[in-house]
Structure formats: C-alpha cells, structure tokens
C-alpha cells in the first residue's frame, strides 16, 4: 500500500539536518528581504488562493500567531487545527489524518510532543510539513535566533554562542545550526540534563571542533557574543519543576555571567521566560537583550519557509 497517490515532489522542514549551509543562508536572506518589504508596507502574496493547516497539540503563542499572520501576509489562509478539537484528539490514526488534510490544504505546520509523530505526518502527507516544535527539535526558532544574531553581530561564522541550561529541543536545533552554518557553540548543562547523545555526535562528526559541552556556565559564556537559554522545565515536564529547579541552580543568565561575554554580546531567549529563574529580569529587559527582535523574526523566517515550500 503506497503512503499517498500524489507523485508531486515536496520537501519538508522537520529539522535543520538535511539542509545545506547555502540553503539556510538563502532562507535567512529571503527573511531579511521579506522583513524589509513588510517595513515598507509592500504587498507580496505569492500564496494567494492557498491554505496552510496548523495542527497544534501543544500550546503556542509565537508559533501560532507568526505562522497565521505570515500565511495571511503571503496571501494564504491559515486554518487553526488544535488537536483536541479534531478527530486526532479522539484517536484518528495519523496516516488517515495526513492523507485527508493533504487533499484540503497546501502545507501543514505540526506542533507536537514526540518527534516521531511529526515524521509520521511527513511520511503520509503529500504536501510540505513544517516542524512548529517537537520534543526533539525547534528549527524555526533557531532560524529566527540566527537571523537576530546576524542582524546584531554580522557574518554567521563570527558567532560564538553559549547555551546555558537544559539540553532540550531548542539546544538540539542550536547544535545542528552550529555544525551546518559553521559557528562555535558551547553548551553548559547540569549533570544529567545534557543534549541528546545522537544529536550531539552527529553534529560533532559533521563539523569537528565547533560544538562542545563544557563544565560550567562561566566556561561557556567566557568570550561568547551570544548568550541564550530556555526555561528549565519545558511543556510536558511541569511535574519535574521542583527537581529541575534544584538541579539548575547556578545555571542562570545574570549580569555577572553576561560580564564574561564580549562587550557587544547579545542575550536571546525563545520565550516565554521565567524571570528570575533561567534569566534575570534586568538582563531580559537590559540593553544586551534581543529577545523581542528574536520573537519578531519568527514571522519573517517562517514567511520565507512558507514561500519556499508551499509556494
């Protein structure tokens, strides 16, 4: 039995793996152009008459709004499809849902827990599938992060990034980005909370010497020009919050840690932030913070993705 009958070629965006440096830099350049078009108020609607389905199993603000607005500005309609309000929430098999939705919409954004669910959607969908977040990867976030860092600091190869905190899905996409785009990344994670071993090994094999795990936040931050972090307990880990709070003591981006970075260093956070936990209020609201530019750039990089994959 074939997975679908549509022989049309399509490309998915499930992680950064499988995308070349040239392709990713091309997406970022297109995002820059689309950002400028928006600033000038110019209409650009290559997706007129098309629809994009947003199949969300996890709560979302930035991903939902940026994809919805992005699709609209490109001329498409975005269909908000919370899993709990569809038959998927009542146990409909993913192969069935993917094949049906593929006959209605021109692209799918999936935000779910297990990365395998996203991969199954992609296998059975005949339209492009974009990762809006899984427990393993958050590639759209990192495109926006890299765009923000390049806007502030210049060429991607000049970036020296310190990740402070949990070796989670955002960290995994940073690891892939560093190994593909050619910048240095140091991760400082509490013992037992490091990144996925396979993700790390693949990146280190792809680009030896660029990605490393270090023993302390101070070692990671020293000489970096980007400091970035995420909450200590992500969605689905709420019951671990107290245990994690103890394990992550000392893994906070504060003024003292920031002082070890370069003078032009910026601070990123994918938001929402737990102020006073993984990042100090004064740093988040301070002159080194680029978190709200970072949040805005989700819109522009995702428009570039939609234009390329759905258009």
Sequence ranges of the binding site for L-ornithine: 169, 230, 234-235
Which residues sit in the known binding site? 60-63, 87, 111, 138-141, 169, 230, 234-235, 270-271, 298
Does 152 qualify as catalytic in the annotation?
Answer: no
Catalytic residue among 141, 145, 172, 244: 141
Does 255 qualify as catalytic in the annotation?
Answer: no
Catalytic residue among 138, 152, 184, 186: 138
Catalytic residue among 152, 172, 244, 270: 270
Does 300 qualify as catalytic in the annotation?
Answer: no
**What is the rounded CA–CA span in Å between residue 14 and residue 121?**
10
Does 230 qualify as catalytic in the annotation?
Answer: yes
Q: Which ranges constitute the DSSP H helices of 186-290?
A: 197-206, 217-221, 241-247, 255-258, 281-284
Which residues sit in the known binding site for carbamoyl phosphate? 60-63, 87, 111, 138-141, 270-271, 298
Does 111 qualify as catalytic in the annotation?
Answer: yes
Q: Which helix (H) or strand (E) holds 184?
A: strand 184-188
Residue in the block written with tokens 């765009």: 147
CB 120 within 8 A of CB 99: no
Does 237 qualify as catalytic in the annotation?
Answer: no
Catalytic residue among 38, 64, 111, 137: 111
> Both tokens of residue 111?
């935000």
Catalytic residue among 172, 298, 300, 302: 298
**What is the rounded CA–CA span in Å between residue 253 and residue 242?**
19
CB 162 within 8 A of CB 227: yes
For 37, residues 6+ apart whose C-beta sits below 8 A from its C-beta are 44
Active site residues: 111, 138, 141, 230, 270, 298
């Amino acid at each position: 039995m074939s997975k679908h009958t549509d022989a049309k070629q399509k490309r998915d965006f499930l992680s950064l793996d499988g995308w070349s440096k040239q392709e990713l830099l091309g997406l970022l350049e297109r995002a820059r152009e689309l950002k400028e078009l928006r600033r000038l108020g110019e209409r650009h609607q290559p997706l007129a008459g098309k629809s994009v389905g947003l199949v969300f199993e996890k709560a979302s603000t930035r991903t939902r709004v940026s994809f919805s607005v992005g699709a609209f500005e490109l001329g498409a309609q975005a269909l908000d499809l919370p899993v709990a309000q569809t038959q998927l929430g009542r146990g409909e098999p993913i192969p069935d849902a993917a094949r049906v939705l593929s006959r209605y919409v021109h692209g799918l954004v999936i935000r779910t827990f297990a990365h395998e669910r996203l991969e199954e959607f992609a296998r059975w969908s005949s339209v492009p599938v974009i990762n809006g977040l899984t427990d393993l990867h958050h590639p759209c976030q990192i495109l926006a992060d890299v765009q923000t860092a390049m806007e502030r600091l210049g060429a991607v190869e000049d970036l020296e990034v310190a990740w402070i905190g949990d070796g989670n899905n955002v960290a995994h996409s940073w690891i892939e980005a560093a190994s593909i785009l050619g910048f240095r990344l140091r991760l400082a994670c509490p013992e037992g909370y490091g990144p996925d071993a396979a993700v790390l090994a693949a990146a280190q094999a792809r680009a030896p010497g660029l990605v490393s795990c270090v023993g302390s936040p101070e070692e990671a931050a020293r000489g970096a020009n980007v400091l970035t972090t995420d909450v200590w307990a992500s969605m689905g880990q709420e019951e671990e919050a107290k245990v994690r709070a103890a394990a992550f003591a000392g893994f906070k981006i504060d003024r003292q840690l920031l002082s070890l970075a370069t003078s032009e260093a910026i601070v990123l956070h994918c938001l929402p932030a737990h102020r006073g936990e993984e990042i100090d209020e004064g740093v988040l609201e301070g002159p080194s913070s680029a978190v709200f530019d970072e949040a805005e750039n989700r819109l522009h990089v995702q428009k570039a993705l939609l234009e390329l994959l759905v258009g």
